[in-house]
Chains A and B, each alone.
Chain A
Amino acid sequence: MLIFGSAILIYYKNITNLSDQDEELLDDLLIDAKLISNSLMSSGYQTNWNSDNVERIGITDDNRVSESKLAEFSKIPYKESKKLFGTVYDFYVFFTDRNNNIIPINSSSEGIGKPGVNSTNIQTVENPKKLVKITRLIVKESDIKKMVIYLWY
């Protein structure tokens, strides 16, 4: 009985510690995800930036997705993108229409982010400890689209 009780106590203590850490991690992921989404919703810097001179990644012009900026975003090496977003976590960005059908970025990829992942395999490929998702609305290709951002650890 004593041993059983001790095991229960040790378990609860571990679980409680783990929950606190998880909460902090989740908060951190959410903060970074918001920052990344805000950056993407902006025009970026420099004006008319490209993958060589970009200082802040933003893919809109006049509240619309700029396809040229999106293309330039896709050319930025993943590690460089993370650095520009100021996050240590992994990310993946993609667009969907009103019916949640994915709108590919280009013919070779459906989204932009960590190589090897897509909108459906993050959990299986990455096995993340924590994963957050933010959805923003933006005008793209003459309609309102959803921009989905995954961030995980």
Chain B
Amino acid sequence: MVLKKGFFFTIDSIIGAGIITLGILLLYTFYIVEPSYTSLDYTSHDLINSLSTLRVGEVNNAYIDELLLTGEITNPENTILEQIGEFWALDKADKAGNLTKEFTNDFIDENLGFGFYIEGEEIYSRIKSNDGVSMISKKMISGIQRYRTREGFTARAVATKVTKNTTEVFMINPEGSSHGPGTTAEITKKFYINSSDITKATLFLTVHWGTSATPSNDFDLNGEPTNIGNPWLYTQEKDVTHIGFDFVDITNDVTSGWNELKIKFLIQSDDHTHIHPGSKIIVEYESSGKFVPSKIVKKRFYFDNVLSNGGNNLNKASGAWSVLPIFVPRGILIKNATLHIVGKELDNNFGIPEGVLEKGNVQLYLNDDKIEILNITGTLNKTYDIKDGLGEGTNVVSVYLNCYPNYFFGKYNTILYSDPENDPEDSSYVEIEYEIIDTAKLKYGKIDVSIVESFDGSMSNPKSYTKDFEDYDVIESFIQVAQLDSNVVSVNANSQNVFTTPRPLATPSSVYIDPSYLNTGENNFEASDLCSDCYILNETTLQYYVLIPSLVGYGQIFDNEEDAISDAEERLNLLLGNYVKATQIDKEVNPVGGVPSLWGPIIAEVRVWH
């Protein structure tokens, strides 16, 4: 009986265990795991990316439509994130929160907590208990903020009156002279300074005199002696003759209006005394006025008056010669070009040596071409049309009266007449009138300033100078070659030849360089002489004319008029630079309503947590 009971209990327990095991196994078999995996970093990252991609203008959303309709949203190109940021910047926290809720709440698993923050300030959140695990995704945003400044001001400024520091170069071209001991030659140069505020004036002179080691020359400026060449800064002895170069400060000797420089050569010994390239007067002064471009340009260049005082024999001979450049820019049409020459006390009653090709006591040349060869006793007063002989760049008119150095000289007195101050029409001059065809050269509303710089270093042949004009608008430039002895001079600009002396004694004191030869950035200028010991002095100068704008347009928008005006004035003064000062500025202030201004950048962040 006991055994029987034990058997039943055992069977019962086995069946029970089997049922339990089967039940659990069945339960296990039918159990399917579907963990819904929601990564916090995916959620925060995806959400902020989507908000910064989706644009308010593209979504089909009732709340957005309402905001667009009521004008709360003005820029449909804003992303949802930018629009939330704009609402935040405009202190429209409720709209920022509602918009955030509209585009977050339905997309984040309801088991997660999340919040949207700008600059750490909560815009919207859905609070769930936080087990300490959270993930943050951030984006930097910025945008245009409306009506932050209800009214703004912008200003522009025009310099209606200016003073400018400009530099003028008065050329003293190669010219001379009598020949033989005891003779004299007096060169009178008249030049007009159109300013009463002269800051600096310098006289540069290169004189080639005869065989005497000590020259006996005098230099007067406005009736007062000028101490130049005492001693000469540089000297050179050439074929037993002497050449000296010097410069002297004449600031206190020049005056506003007409000035008169008298160069008095007393020829002590054989050979004739004359001026070489490098002679000039440089005057720095303050002036006013703007550049007034004109389609028709008329320029007149006067010869200096040369009075040569000789005797009646050819050992004490007279003669007057001079060269004068005439500049022809590119992009113009020459209307007229004339040489008006007035020679006085001419005498052709002397014999021109057999070896001289051109038999005339008056010889006139344009570059290397004859204008006319004449034999005249008495007065020469004649005008020549030289238009057809002119070429682009620097042209040289050479005038020889009663002489052709060093081949022959005449008798008694010879006068190359010029008095631009008192007798301009009957003076000797060259004049050119041209029409500007290249209208790009007609620039209005600008201020023209002339700047002169000396080559640096020491004398050499050739000699180079590098100049970066930076932002300057250069309209003309010149090289004023300074030398002791001089022969055939060439001037190159950026490796392009712009001038070569066309014939003996025909190197002018200034060579024109058209702006078309110039580069933006660095420019290289080189002067050289065919004669190896005809050095180019470091007193050689580069003169360039620049145009400086006289106005600045409307600039940034400011909260008040004063700041806008101050900004315009500051921009104008910066533009005018060191050479120009505005003495009268017209300012125009423009009020601007509904000025948008920038907000941000700000940090927007989505925080998601379990």
A94 to B440, CA, bound (A): 66
Find chain A residues with CB under 8 A from B20 CB: 7, 11
B residues neighboring A (CB under 8 Å): 10, 13-14, 16-18, 20-21, 24, 28, 32-39, 42-43, 46-47, 49-54, 58-61, 103, 106-107, 109
A26 to B36 CA separation, bound complex (whole angstroms): 11
Query: CA A76 – CA B49 in complex, angstroms?
Result: 28
Of the candidates A41, A63, A131, A146, the one whose C-beta lies within 8 Å of that of B33 is: A131
Partner of B50, one of A26, A130, A144: A144
Give a binary string over A58-74; 1 marks a CB under 8 Å from any B CB, 0 the rest: 00001110000000000
The verdict on A143 contacting B54 (CB below 8 Å), with A3-B14, A3-B17, A11-B21 known, is: yes
Chain A residues 129-153 with CB under 8 Å of chain B are 129-139, 142-144, 146
Selected contact of A144 from candidates B16, B21, B28, B107, CB within 8 Å: B107
Task: Assign chain A's interface to a size class.
Answer: 35 or more
Nearest-CB residue, chain B, relative to A25: B33
- Tell me the bound Cα distance from A61 to B106 in angstroms: 24
CB-CB under 8 A from A55, the residues of chain B are: none
Tell me, yes or no, whether A13 is within 8 Å of chain B by CB.
no
* CB-defined contacts of A134 to chain B, threshold 8 Å: 37-39, 42
Q: Are A4 and B16 in contact (CB under 8 A)?
A: yes
- Are A7 and B43 touching (Cβ within 8 A)? no
- CB contacts (< 8 Å) of A4 on chain B: these are 13-14, 16-17
B59 to A133, Cβ gap below 8 A?
no
Residues of A within 8 A of B51 (CB): 144
Which B-chain residue is minimally distant from A135 (CB atoms)? B38
Alpha-carbon separation in the docked complex, A85 to B200 (Å)? 85
Residue pair B13, A3 in contact (C-beta under 8 Å): yes
Partner of A142, one of B14, B37, B39, B54: B54
A7 / chain B contacts, CB cutoff of 8 Å? 14, 17-18, 20-21
Task: Find out whether the CB atom of B39 lies under 8 angstroms from the CB atom of A138.
Answer: no
* Nearest CB of chain B from residue A90's CB, rounded to whole Å: 14
- Give the contact stretch, choosing among A30-38, A42-50, A102-110, A112-120: A30-38
User: A21 at interface (Cβ–Cβ under 8 A)?
Assistant: no
Q: How far is the CB of A36 from chain B (nearest CB, A)?
A: 12
From known contacts A22-B33, A131-B32, infer whether A11 and B107 are also in contact, taking CB-CB under 8 Å. no
User: Quick check: A144 and B103 within 8 Å, CB to CB?
Assistant: yes
The residues of A with any CB-CB pair to B shorter than 8 Å are: 1, 3-4, 7-8, 11, 15, 18, 22, 26, 30, 33-34, 37, 41, 62-64, 98-99, 123, 127-139, 142-144, 146
- A132–B36 alpha-carbon span in the complex (Å): 6
Complex Cα–Cα for A63 and B45 (A): 12
Q: Nearest residue in A to B108 (C-beta to C-beta)?
A: A137
- In the complex the two chains form, is A136's CB within 8 Å of B46's CB? yes
Judging by beta carbons under 8 Å apart, are A99 and B106 in contact? yes
Q: How far is the CA of A127 from the CA of B143 in the complex (A)?
A: 53
Q: Are B37 and A132 in contact, CB atoms less than 8 angstroms apart?
A: yes
Question: In the assembled complex, which residues on chain B have CB atoms less than 8 Å from the CB atom of A64?
Answer: 53
Question: A26 with B33: in contact, given A1-B13, A3-B10 (CB under 8 Å)?
Answer: yes
A63 surroundings in chain B (CB, below 8 A)? 49-50, 52-53
Residues of A within 8 A of B10 (CB): 3
Query: Which of chain B's residues has its CB closest to A133's CB?
Result: B36
Check A137 against B43 for contact (C-beta < 8 Å). yes
A137-B47, A143-B59, A144-B103 are known; give 18 further A-B pairs, CB within 8 A. A3-B10, A7-B14, A22-B33, A26-B35, A33-B37, A37-B42, A64-B53, A132-B34, A132-B37, A134-B37, A134-B38, A134-B42, A136-B42, A137-B46, A139-B50, A139-B53, A144-B50, A144-B107
For the complex, what is the distance from the CA of A34 to the CA of B39, rounded to whole Å? 9
Q: How far is the CA of A4 from the CA of B21 in the complex (A)?
A: 10
Tell me which residues across on chain B come within 8 A of A34, comparing CB atoms: 39
Contact indicator B60/A143 (Cβ below 8 Å): yes
Which A residues touch B46, using CB under 8 A? Answer: 41, 136-138
* Complex Cα spacing A135 to B34, Å: 13
Q: Give A130 to B61 CA distance when docked, in angstroms.
A: 38
Give Cα A146 to B43, complex, Å: 11
Could you tell me if A137 and B107 are in contact, using CB atoms closer than 8 angstroms?
A: yes
Complex Cα gap A135–B39 (Å): 9
Query: Do residues A123 and B21 form an inter-chain contact, with CB atoms below 8 A?
Result: no
Output the nearest chain B residue to A146 by Cβ-Cβ distance. B107
Contacting pair B34 A137 (CB below 8 A): no
Residues in A with CB closer than 8 Å to B107 are: 98, 137, 144, 146
Partner of B17, one of A8, A33, A129: A8
> What's the nearest-Cβ distance from chain A to residue B107, in Å?
5
Query: Most A CB atoms within 10 A — which of B20, B21, B24, B32?
Result: B32
User: What are the 8 A-B residue pairs with the smallest beta carbon separation, nearest first?
Assistant: A98-B106, A137-B46, A7-B17, A63-B53, A142-B58, A131-B34, A4-B13, A144-B50
User: With contacts A37-B42, A63-B49, A133-B37 known, is A139 near B54, CB below 8 A?
Assistant: yes
Q: Which residues of B are found within 8 Å of A62, using beta-carbon distances? A: 53
State in angstroms the CA–CA spacing of A136 and B47 once bound together: 9
A106 to chain B: closest CB distance in Å? 21
Of the candidates A41, A128, A130, A143, the one having the most CB atoms from chain B within 10 angstroms of its own CB is A143
B47 partner residues in chain A, CB cutoff 8 A: 137, 144
* Alpha-carbon separation in the docked complex, A134 to B36 (Å): 6
Residues of B within 8 A of A123 (CB): 32, 34
Given A37-B42, A134-B39, CB of A128 within 8 Å of CB of B32 = yes
A135 near B28: Cβ-Cβ < 8 Å: no
Q: Nearest chain-A residue to B109 (Cβ)?
A: A135
Complex contacts, B106 vs chain A, CB 8 Å: 98-99
> Nearest chain A CB to B391's CB is how many angstroms away?
61
A59 to chain B, nearest CB (A): 14
How many Å from the CB of A95 to the closest CB on chain B? 12
Whole-angstrom distance between the alpha carbons of A68 and B244 in the complex? 88
